[in-house]
Chain A
Amino acid sequence: MPDLPAPTRRTFLKQAGSGLGYLAMAGLATEAAAASSILSSDSKGQGPHFRPRAKRVIRLFMQGGPSHVDTFDYKPELIANGGKAGGFAQEGFGRVRKNDKLLAPLWKFRQRGDSGLWISDLYPNLARMADDLCLLNGMHTDVAAHPQATIMAHTGSITFVRPSVGAWVLYGLGAENENLPGFVTINPLNRLGGAQNYGSAFLPASYQATKISNNKIANLANANLTTAEQRKQLDLVREMNEEMMQRAGGDAGVEGVINSFELAFRMQDSVPDVLDIATEPESVKQMYGIGNRATTRFGTQCLMARRLAEAGVRYIELTHNGWDQHKGLQAKLSSNALATDQPIAGLIADLKQRGLLDETLIVWGGEFGRTPVQQSAAGDGRRHNHRGYTSWMCGGGVRGGMRHGATDPMGFAAVEGKVHIHDLHATILHLLGLDHEKLTYRYSGRDFRLTDVHGNVVKEILA
């Protein structure tokens, strides 16, 4: 990036709000470090590349591999054949043996809504939103191990350390609201890739997620100074910087620093407000199941997600742990579903009533699914399964009441309308108006992209 003439605060803010906001900011600060050319992979024209259908994403990551055949993938043949040997040959089915017994879904499936989508009794609330859901029954990924599949689901690569989807989105579109971070992750994993799952890898650090843990963002409040005192302190800093800029002959680097403080000062004000759900009416809290023991925790996070979405955060991820049912499927899957069903249904309904669902894309899913056969004769458990599983999308430019793709009759492997995790990534970008083949960043002598050399947009599901 060639050096920029010292921008005024106004042009700065304008840039900050536009797609290249953070880059522009980075550019300002590096005038000196001169070499900003690599920060911007210029001429590549970051997006949007075409008219976006969604402005932002809420990703609901169910870590562990939720069982699709017990939830969103209706398999009548599996229901009919429970207890019989699965007959899956060993080759290509990992640890599954020929004689492993099929485990019929432990919950009853029913057709829901006008669309008649099949959803099991685990999700009574979500089932009522069936006509808004787009089930992707033909999902598949590369590896049936949590760490690889989790990293794959977030960065599209197992082999190398790459930026996460959210970082790419922010790089492509910039922040919608310059008073807030553009990419937020709530209670992320600290293992299975940990920060790599929301990191920026070779993209500038400004694209990594801001972490909210225990409902807080770090360094957002000063323990010693009142707001008035801090304002005076910042005025002192600004005067120092302005004098410095005079001496240095007008230096954009300094202007960048000045602006970052003004932005930070506003963030201190706006972020706690956004995260503070106390002001929400009781009726809204109830929609999310806040107040009930089982649902308060995730409900709070979902409500926070709505508030962040409303305030214009580009990419919001929520993580719910513990979907790895090698045994105790009955008990644990019930409690997981219970903890998340009403909060998610509440989120969809709430976005809808505010007219935000059309522009907000919700993506639900784990890193893979589970086998139709049971893990062992002893208990109700299922193994990992990367060959077929289910994710669903909702809102922002996706058709509702739709089921796309299918697994084989028993629910083992995706056979129709297959959607690889690369395809899911390509589709998310597409809905945001980004062409996954054009959204590139130059690093180590070549242009990288989220989907590497893969990825097809799932056109069938576009509204």
Chain B
Amino acid sequence: MFEVIVIAAAFAAPQGVEKIEFFEKKIRPILANRCYGCHSANAKKLKGGLLLDTHEGWANGGDSGEVIVPGDPDGSLLIQAVRRVHDKIQMPPKKPLPDAEVEALVKWVKMGAPDPRMRQAMGRKSKKIDVAAGREFWAFQPPRPEPVPPVKDAAWPRTDVDRFVRARQEQAGLEPNVDADRHTLIRRATIDLIGLPPTRKEVGAFVADDSPDAFAKVLDRLLASPQFGERWARHWLDIVRYAESTGRTRNFPYPVAWRYRDYVIDAFNADKPYDVFIREQLAGDLMPPSTDRDVQNARKIATGFLAIGTKDLNERNRQQYLMDQADDQIDVTGRAVMALTISCARCHDHKFDPIPTRDYYALAGIFRSSDLLDGYANRSRGNNNYAKGDRYHRLDLNKAQMPKPRVTAAPARPRKPRPKAAQRLKKIREELQQLAAERKRNRGKRAVQLRIRKRTNQLRREQKKLSGAGNRRRGGRQPLTGNEAMGVRDGAKPADMAVCIRGDITQKGERVPRGFLSVIPDAEHTHIAADTSGRLQLARWLTNADHPLTARVMVNRIWHHLFGCGLVRTVDNFGKAGERPSHPELLDYLALHFITDGWSIKKTIRAIMLSRTYQVASKKDAEKFTTDPDNRLLWRMSPRRLEAEVIRDAMLAVGGHLDLVPPKGSPVMGIPAGEMGRRGPVGKGFAATKRSIYLPIVRNFVPGMLGVFDFAEPSTITGRRDVTTVATQALFMMNSAFVIEQARHASERLLASNAQGAEERGDIAYRLALGRPATNSERQRVVSYVRDFMTSKPEKDAWASVFQAIFASAEFRYVR
């Protein structure tokens, strides 16, 4: 700051005394009276990023750029504003300045805008972003290979992960908990990896296995299970705001969004290298073509990542609509992959992170140069939201890969046919049946066949008209053929974008070449050719091994899902406003290993779970708790509430009614095209016994149970779900038809088993639902409860009530 003063003082010298006098007499009072209210260090709220209380303030300009060009009043925005030549920028906003004051200001600018006010405004830093300085922040430094720290308690660690963790504990004088017992451990691992409780058999096998690699065997089995992908894909879907409708103003269905969901499940199951996974989602359509049809299809589907966001279909301004889309794409790319809130820089330089507005529009140019393929367009006059031309990726599929899309153009409102029409419709149906029969009888007779066909077509047309099925006033989209996928492709004319000043699409600033974030060096000195959007280059930059964020952010997400809390707890924000890592060296160690292990998610998970740190007991210890209540030093396993999906799937599994065969497609395929909500319930009853990941996720119609248990709001990017405990959850467990039904199934299953007598049944109930034997007191409690219950009701109701109680209990709903 001192330097600034010195330099400024040097500038001040040549200003003549008369000029300074003019300033003091005429200009300073104007600025103070008319402008400081919003444009000074003491302003209640600084407007437009512009300071007028110092020379330096206005010399730096505001959000709209330069405001005073000394010597050129006409070219100075400040003068234009007080002359009120623009519609948008008129200053002062309420009352125009008296002419005399305007003239004084003009004169002042003409004489070179002399200004002796050199002291830097107190309390407000110069707002220009220093990207080079910003690079010093930990998250923008590349991960460093750190030596594994020495540990005094050398017997404790099993892996390097343990050494990093134990070393920190030793510094704090903290002892880790004892190892978890085997029942607890296998339930923990099974739920973490596949989102289901272990079966009795699996528990039995693990408990009995004395071999040193018993747990490793369990992990390998679970990682190879197809249920692994269904569990971990959902974590990713939270982050990428996955949903099957546009949401917001006009909520229209995305009938083929499910292909992206299935792509993510497959990717996790196949352990697709994470860098490839990211590249495909950003630019799969631009990758060098593969001869493998499935690979080609998957790459197109992957770009659905950029297409499944919310849309304001009722936005009439096309430019605004497209800009909002690009913003959604920048936001999801920034936060999902890099845990950076780049979107903040849409209207002004980022307040905390070294991301200038220019960078935002460099990225916006890339996304705006791509066409969105989601089947829709914004609504303008005479346009009904259905994009002209082919607004989908087309896949190369065989018949079996195309579940029958039941969706067709739907009537605007299902009208009840009028009585007369109903009669006529009945007649038509009858005649059609006769004609069909006639056609069968007259095979080979061309003339007859021709007449029949003609009449049939005539009748069908009339039928359509009468029943309203042909009304395409709203549902004007062509019926789906089944080979569609959502995504993006390069537009016809890729182009750079101009900065939109303060995010306003009508206020264009300088044009910015397409590019990436300037704070993160571009190791390959990428050149984005004029004829391409730049998505592929963006994808490569993101997945370059030198990128400081991509690998760190992902291993942190994995850690979060295994421990309930990331090493950086703000999993979606690695910027200044986010938290710092609790174990920075461990984070870097994991990130670097992730890359050298070929970006393998499964290997990373396996390595973490084989650590002793993952395997300690969760028991709360008063003394350790006082030292480290948040468990940042990982002295215990944090107990974690199960996600909505796991609670639901676990109840289905205990009842023996969980159908593990993935469904084909999604019920959203069957929702008539058009605004949802006008047409009654959405996807009710579908997938009732399938895993929860296959439930239809329609924005604003999230399935009830998921909503009750803190499902990730599908319009927001959610790397970490809330965990609330509220009465509506209790009501759901106590009274919902779903829970009662699963409890009944479990009871039937129990009574059908070969368990004899209440004592043994009680024990089996615990094993089925909680994966462990019941203790003596638990057994006795259940037995007496059942006996009491049976005084008025049959035994199966009694056991159903026990199961419901277990489902409702904290032990069932938590993993420890």
Contact = CB atoms under 8 A, between A and B. Distances in A.
A, B in one complex: yes
Interface of A: 2-3, 22, 25-26, 28-39, 145, 147-148, 151, 158-159, 161, 181, 189-196, 199-202, 204-206, 208, 210, 218-225, 229-230, 232-234, 236-237, 239-241, 243-245, 247-251, 253-254, 256-261, 263-265, 267-268, 444-446
10 contacts: A25-B724, A31-B639, A39-B722, A148-B315, A190-B677, A202-B713, A233-B804, A248-B619, A253-B814, A445-B570
Contact of B569 (A38, A158, A446): A38
A248 B816 contact: yes
Interface in B711-734: 711, 713, 715-717, 720, 722-732, 734
Given A37-B569, A191-B251, A29 B639 contact: no
Contacts of A253: 639, 641, 725, 810, 814
Contact of A219 (B316, B569, B736): B736
A32 B315 CA distance: 43
Nearest to B563: A34
Interface stretch (B204-212, B660-668, B777-785): B777-785
A35 B569 contact: yes
A196 B731 contact: no
B577 A33 contact: no
Contacts of A32: 564, 618, 638-641, 814
A237 B724 contact: no
Interface size classification for chain B: 35 or more
A207 to B, nearest CB: 9
Nearest to B637: A32
B809 interface: yes
Contacts of B731: 218-220, 264, 267-268
Contact of B250 (A147, A161, A181): A147
Contacts of A151: 248-249
Contact of B724 (A2, A26, A194, A254): A26
A96 to B, nearest CB: 14
A64 to B, nearest CB: 14
Those 5 A-B pairs whose CB atoms lie nearest each other, nearest first: A147-B249, A191-B677, A29-B725, A264-B730, A249-B620
Interface in B242-279: 247-251
Nearest to A253: B639
Contacts of B809: 237, 240-241, 244, 257
Contacts of B335: 444
Nearest to B313: A147
Given A161-B715, A233-B804, 15 more contacts: A26-B723, A34-B569, A39-B723, A190-B677, A196-B248, A196-B715, A201-B716, A204-B722, A219-B734, A219-B735, A240-B778, A245-B810, A267-B731, A268-B734, A445-B577
B713 A191 contact: no
Nearest to A234: B734
From B728, B740, B788, B814, residue with most partner A Cβ within 10 Å:
B728
B295 interface: no
B237 to A, nearest CB: 17
Given A190-B677, A191-B676, A244-B809, A145 B565 contact: no
A208 B813 CA distance: 22
A382 to B, nearest CB: 19
Contact of B638 (A22, A34, A181, A254): A34
A218 B699 CA distance: 20
Interface in B607-649: 618-622, 625, 629-632, 638-641
Contacts of B588: none
Contacts of B625: 3
From A3, A161, A256, residue with most partner B Cβ within 10 Å:
A161
A405 to B, nearest CB: 17
Contact of B716 (A202, A224, A445): A202
A143 B743 CA distance: 50
Nearest to A256: B725
B352 interface: yes
A159 B564 contact: no
A196 B618 contact: no
B248 A193 contact: yes
Nearest to A236: B805
A177 to B, nearest CB: 12
B310 interface: yes
A205 B710 contact: yes
Nearest to A221: B735
Interface string B695-720: 00001111010011011010111001
B345 to A, nearest CB: 12
Nearest to B631: A34
B724 A205 contact: yes
Given A25-B726, A33-B638, A224-B797, A446 B341 contact: yes
A202 B248 CA distance: 15
A66 to B, nearest CB: 20
Contacts of A264: 727-728, 730-731, 734
Given A191-B677, A222-B734, A239-B781, A22 B724 contact: yes
B341 A445 contact: yes
A260 B727 contact: yes
B324 interface: yes
B802 A243 contact: no
A341 to B, nearest CB: 28
A34 to B, nearest CB: 5
Contacts of A205: 707-708, 710-711, 713, 722, 724, 726
A248 B639 contact: yes
B808 A237 contact: yes
Contact of A33 (B249, B352, B640, B704): B640
A257 B641 CA distance: 11
Contact of A26 (B249, B251, B310, B725): B725
Contacts of A258: 810
B806 interface: yes
B544 to A, nearest CB: 24
B348 to A, nearest CB: 11
Contact of A201 (B578, B708, B711, B715): B715
A260 B801 contact: no
Contact of B341 (A159, A210, A233, A444): A444
A254 to B, nearest CB: 4
B40 interface: no
A261 B248 CA distance: 34
Contacts of A225: 801
Contacts of A208: 707
Nearest to B777: A243
